[in-house]
C-alpha cells in the first residue's frame, strides 16, 4: 500500500527507503517484501493495518529501496523503538521529524487474536490515523521547508532522546546476540537479546526479535504467547502512539 503513496509523491521529489529489522536476514523478510500473492491478501489485513479500501485496492509490490538491517543499527541510530516507524529527512540530510509511528494505530489492542478481526470503531480510527499521516507526508512533499508538519531543530532535539547507559548496553547485547546467532549458538544469542529487552523494555524492535530467533519462527508472524503477554502488560499505555502533529496549524 505504501507503493501507492510512493508513486504519487515521488513526482514531488519524495523518496522512500524501507528498512526491515530482522536478524534472520533475507529468509525472514523477502517473502513479505516481494510477495507473489499480493493481490490475494485477505481484506482483514487492510482493516488490521488501517488502510482505506481505496488504497488497498491499488496495492502493488514496492519499487522503492528495501533494506534488511540484521544488526538493528538503523533503529539504534535513529532512536526507533518499534516497527513500523518513520523518520523524515530533508534534502540537506537534516532530520525534520524524528522516529514516530508511521500512521500505525493500536489495532492489536482491539484485535481478535484467533481471527485477526477488528471492530469497526477501531478500524475507522485506524484509517483516520493512517490518512492523517499520509496527508502530512503530502504536505511536506509539496511544500518542503514551508510545510506546517516539519519541526524546528529545537523540537527535533527535544523529541530525540539521546542514548543513555542502558541503551548503549542493550545495543551491545544485540550485537553479541547477532554474532552468536550467525555462529549457530542460538541459546546464547537468545540470552543476549533477552538482556537487551531487560535493559530497554520499551524497545519493541528488540523484544520482537527476541521472540523470533528459533529456526521455525523465521519469517513467521510474531504471534507468540510472550508477545501478547507483553502487549497486555502495557495496560493503558499505547503500543503505537500516533504521530504528534499538535504543533501544525
Closest C-alpha to 16, from 1, 35, 32, 2: 2
pLDDT at position 234 is 92
pLDDT for position 31 = 65
On whether the pTM is more than 0.85, the answer is: yes
pLDDT at 16 exceeding the cut of 60: yes
Region 89-100: what's the mean pLDDT? 96
In this predicted structure, which of 34-43, 170-179, 202-211 has the lowest mean pLDDT?
34-43
Cα gap 247→249, rounded to integer Å: 6
Q: Which of 171, 160, 162 is nearest to 76 (CA)?
A: 171
The confidence score (pLDDT) of residue 55 equals 77
- C-alpha cell of residue 135: 496527508
User: CB–CB of 150/96 below 8 Å?
Assistant: yes
Residue 125's alpha-carbon distances to 8, 86, 161, 207, 240, in angstroms, are 24, 20, 28, 26, 13
Residue-wise pLDDT for 20-69, tens only, equals: 999 998 888 776 666 555 666 677 777 777 888 887 777 888 899 999 99
SS3 readout for 196-212: HHHHCCCCHHHHHHHHC
Contact by Cβ (8 Å): 20, 30: no
Q: Which of 15-30 are b and which e, b meaning 16 or more Cβ less than 10 Å from the residue's Cβ?
A: ebebbbbbbbeeebbe
Q: For residue 200, name the pLDDT band (cuts at 50, 70, 90).
A: very high
The rounded percent of the chain whose pLDDT value lies above 70 is: 95
Residues present in the chain in total: 249
φ and ψ at residue 96, rounded to 5 degrees: -110, -10
Average per-residue pLDDT for the chain: 90
Please, which pLDDT band fits residue 221 given cuts at 50, 70 and 90? Answer: confident
d(CA 248, CA 238): 22
Amino acid at each position: 500500500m505504501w507503493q501507492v503513496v510512493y508513486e504519487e509523491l515521488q513526482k514531488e521529489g519524495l523518496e522512500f527507503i524501507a528498512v526491515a529489522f530482522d536478524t534472520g536476514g533475507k529468509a525472514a523478510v523477502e517473502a513479505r517484501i516481494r510477495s507473489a500473492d499480493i493481490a490475494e491478501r485477505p481484506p482483514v489485513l487492510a482493516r488490521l493495518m488501517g488502510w482505506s479500501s481505496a488504497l488497498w485496492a491499488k496495492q502493488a509490490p514496492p519499487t522503492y529501496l528495501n533494506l534488511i538491517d540484521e544488526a538493528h543499527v538503523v533503529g539504534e541510530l535513529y532512536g526507533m523503538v518499534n516497527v513500523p516507524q518513520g523518520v523524515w529527512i530533508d534534502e540537506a540530510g537534516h532530520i525534520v521529524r524524528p522516529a514516530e509511528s508511521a500512521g500505525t494505530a493500536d489495532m492489536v489492542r482491539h484485535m481478535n487474536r484467533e481471527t485477526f478481526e477488528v471492530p469497526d470503531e477501531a478500524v475507522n480510527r485506524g484509517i483516520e490515523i493512517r490518512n492523517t499521516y499520509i496527508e502530512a507526508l503530502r504536505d511536506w512533499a509539496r511544500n518542503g521547508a514551508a510545510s506546517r508538519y516539519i519541526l524546528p531543530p529545537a523540537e527535533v532535539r527535544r523529541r530525540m532522546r539521546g542514548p543513555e547507559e542502558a541503551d548503549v548496553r542493550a545495543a551491545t547485547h544485540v550485537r553479541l546476540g547477532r554474532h552468536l546467532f550467525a555462529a549457530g549458538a542460538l541459546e546464547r544469542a537468545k540470552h543476549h537479546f533477552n538482556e537487551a529487552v531487560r535493559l530497554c523494555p520499551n524497545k519493541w524492535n528488540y523484544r520482537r526479535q527476541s521472540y523470533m530467533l528459533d529456526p521455525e519462527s523465521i519469517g513467521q508472524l510474531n504471534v507468540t504467547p510472550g508477545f501478547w503477554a507483553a502487549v497486555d502488560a502495557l495496560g493503558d499505555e499505547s503500543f503505537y502512539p500516533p504521530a504528534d502533529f499538535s504543533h501544525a496549524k
